């Protein structure tokens, strides 16, 4: 496809310039009146213009420096860039969000709704007895990229206060969230807790292989980031453009690729709902001791999930204690 696109590009450029030049020359020299109705003469004239433009375009492209030729240091550093990518990349499971036409049926992950529970469970309430908002129903997919800490978890449901982000992590390490984990789907019964704030959105899982850290405090050793900073300084290499390839944010859904498929070979920061990979901290943060970052849920306009100013929940899990910690940040 790339080759076909390049060929069509060159054809359009040559024909466009040829048409423009032929019109200008015809008007200046009065060739239209001289040729009259002689179609053969007019065609020969236009083809000669096409030939001349093709030769000029060929010469121009041979002399024009390629991006690699303009930056030979990029070629020299490519093995190091490839090594950095292999060192930093992590598998993850992206949760792509789309508005739900109605109540999700079956074992479907979603935002703004909790649809499964054990018999006898009810919607949790806050300290004042007010029901919490159902934030998410997450069926843990058996896909590469799901953290090992969640290997014995089949379902996660999350309830949250509308203003849980304002809680202190020191006094309330779960920030007002009630998180329920289910080791198996057996014995679960359907329920339907619908948020009065957030809209229901289906979350479709898709595995990626190349999730990359957004900032040094998101992942990677200090030594690795020292190498990256040295490359950026000495060779004018930008981490996100030259090593990361791209940053995909939920705030820019229109710029998302058609598929998050790892076959695209994009080393990217996936700043969206996901299991595993790297947290995409907006501000500085440190993971709680003995707890592992396992997933995040962030700003989603389709779900009306604003979370302060384009904020994000980061979830940490201790599998031995079956206990959670939550961090929140925003712009």
In a domain, 175, yes or no: yes
Token representation of residue 305: 């999930």
Q: Are residues 59 and 139 in the same domain?
A: no
pLDDT reported for residue 72: 47
In a domain, 127, yes or no: yes
Q: Are residues 43 and 120 in the same domain?
A: no
Integer Cα distance of 138 and 185 in angstroms: 12
Please state the pTM of the whole predicted model.
Answer: 0.74
Sequence-ordered list of residues with C-beta below 8 angstroms from that of 250, at least 6 positions apart, any chain = 97, 271, 272, 273, 298, 299, 300, 301
DSSP string, 263-299: GG---EEEESSEEES----SS---PPTT-EEEEEEE-
Q: Are residues 151 and 275 in the same domain?
A: yes
In a domain, 72, yes or no: no
In a domain, 149, yes or no: yes
Nearest Cα to Cα of residue 282 among 304, 317, 307, 254: 307
With 0-12 CB in 10 A as exposed, 13-18 as middle and 19+ as buried, what is 252?
exposed
In a domain, 144, yes or no: yes
Q: Are residues 199 and 306 in the same domain?
A: yes
Q: Are residues 250 and 142 in the same domain?
A: yes
The CA radius of gyration of the chain, in Å to the nearest whole number, is 28
Q: Are residues 42 and 97 in the same domain?
A: no
* Residue 9 lies in domain: 2-64
In a domain, 295, yes or no: yes
In a domain, 226, yes or no: yes
Taking CA atoms, 252 is separated from 249, 266, 272, 299, in Å, by 5, 17, 10, 11
pLDDT reported for residue 310: 81
Taking CA atoms, 104 is separated from 143, 192, 235, 241, in Å, by 21, 10, 51, 39
Q: Are residues 90 and 235 in the same domain?
A: yes
Integer Cα distance of 227 and 232 in angstroms: 9
CB 123 within 8 A of CB 159: yes
Q: Are residues 160 and 246 in the same domain?
A: yes
Q: Are residues 125 and 39 in the same domain?
A: no
Coil, helix or strand at residue 305: strand
In a domain, 77, yes or no: no
pLDDT in tens, the chain (331 residues): 445 555 666 666 556 666 666 666 566 666 555 555 566 666 666 677 667 666 666 676 665 444 444 444 556 778 888 899 999 999 999 999 999 988 999 999 999 999 999 999 999 998 889 999 999 999 999 898 999 999 999 999 999 987 666 677 778 899 889 999 999 999 999 999 999 999 999 999 999 989 999 888 888 888 889 989 988 888 888 898 888 888 876 655 555 555 444 444 578 899 899 999 999 998 878 788 999 999 999 999 999 998 878 889 999 999 999 999 999 888 7
Q: Are residues 217 and 269 in the same domain?
A: yes
Domain count, the chain: 2
């Amino acid at each position: 496809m790339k080759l076909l696109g390049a060929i069509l590009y060159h054809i359009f450029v040559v024909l466009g310039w040829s048409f423009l030049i032929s019109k200008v020359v015809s008007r200046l020299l009065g060739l239209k009146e001289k040729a009259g109705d002689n179609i053969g003469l007019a065609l020969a004239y236009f083809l000669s213009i096409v030939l001349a433009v093709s030769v000029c375009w060929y010469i121009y492209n041979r002399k024009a420096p390629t991006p690699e030729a303009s930056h030979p240091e990029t070629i020299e550093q490519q093995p190091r860039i490839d090594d950095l990518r292999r060192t930093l990349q992590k598998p993850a499971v992206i949760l792509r969000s789309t508005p739900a036409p109605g109540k999700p049926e079956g074992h479907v992950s979603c935002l703004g709704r909790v649809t499964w529970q054990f018999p006898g469970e009810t919607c949790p309430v806050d300290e004042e007895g007010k029901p919490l908002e159902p934030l998410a129903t997450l069926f843990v997919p058996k896909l590469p990229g799901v953290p090992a800490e969640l290997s014995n978890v089949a379902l996660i449901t999350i309830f949250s206060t509308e203003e849980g982000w304002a809680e202190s992590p020191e006094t309330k390490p779960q920030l007002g969230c009630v998180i329920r984990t289910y080791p198996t789907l057996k014995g679960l019964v359907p329920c339907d807790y619908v948020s009065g704030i957030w809209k229901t959105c289906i979350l479709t899982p898709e595995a990626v292989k190349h999730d990359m850290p957004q900032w040094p405090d998101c992942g990677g050793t200090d030594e690795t980031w020292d190498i990256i900073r040295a490359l950026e300084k000495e060779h004018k290499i930008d981490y996100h453009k030259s090593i990361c390839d791209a940053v995909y944010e939920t705030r820019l859904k229109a710029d998302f690729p058609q598929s998050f498929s790892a076959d695209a070979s994009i080393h990217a920061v996936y700043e969206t709902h996901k299991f595993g990979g790297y947290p995409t901290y907006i501000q500085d943060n440190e993971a709680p001791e003995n707890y592992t970052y396992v997933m995040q849920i962030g700003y989603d306009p389709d779900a009306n999930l604003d979370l302060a100013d384009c904020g994000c929940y980061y979830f940490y899990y201790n599998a031995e204690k079956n206990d959670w910690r939550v961090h929140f940040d925003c712009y």
